[in-house]
Chains A and B, each alone.
Chain A
């Protein structure tokens, strides 16, 4: 099984990536980067990352979330985060990134926020 499985679905003009597994140095981080780059190439610039089933993330994975955020912003798009685990929320808090990302606990609220 891949370290990180990413399932893509469309909710209106928002692309939701349901992620399950680990976003760590190597395969997991690369999978996230590739998925976001591909969406940008396809002109899909409103992206919601559902992280509820991400069991583990390291500094490389957090760096990849930041890179995704800046790459999408550069294209005048929006990246938002959904369903952070407590541990990921703690990591984003200590790195002061929780204030950078737009974070939601409910998918409907997250989708509405893109409008």
Chain B
């Protein structure tokens, strides 16, 4: 298994979510990831790109969402970068807490954390947030 990297730069529109998911599905398929893991990666990528488009770039089409895909013998790593103001992931309430179960939103980060082995955020001082997600083989 050789290392491979793919980079995408996409407009801040809702349909970018499907575009990114299709590109990731193809990348993951080439990487020989198991089907169960591929479903989780797809789910996590859609949530990360949705957050970047909606909350990060606020659908401003002058801003891009940049996705980097890396595959190595040990793992697949996906980074999604937006140009938004950033946020503190620790401030996001637990959607499975009793008081939040019937809320209409707030489950995206929970899904990313549920389906990937590692999820972390880098808030850049000059603006922009990168979420890096790792799925081990």
By size class, the interface of chain B is 20 to 34
With A24-B46, A87-B39 as known contacts, state yes or no: A70 contacts B107, CB within 8 Å. no
Q: Is B117 interfacial (CB-CB < 8 Å)?
A: no
Q: Main SS of the interface on chain A? A: helix
**Number of chain A residues close to chain B: CB under 8 A:** 20
Q: Is A47 interfacial (CB-CB < 8 Å)?
A: no
Q: Main SS of the interface on chain B? A: helix
Q: Contact check, B102 vs A70: say whether CB atoms are below 8 A apart.
A: yes
User: In the assembled complex, which residues on chain B have CB atoms less than 8 Å from the CB atom of A100?
Assistant: 101-102
Binding site for A on B (CB under 8 A): 14-15, 17-18, 39, 43, 46-47, 50, 54, 95-96, 101-108, 110-111, 114
Further contacts, 15 of them, CB under 8 A, given A87-B39, A95-B101 = A24-B17, A25-B50, A26-B15, A58-B111, A59-B105, A59-B108, A59-B110, A59-B111, A60-B50, A63-B106, A64-B104, A66-B103, A91-B111, A95-B96, A100-B101
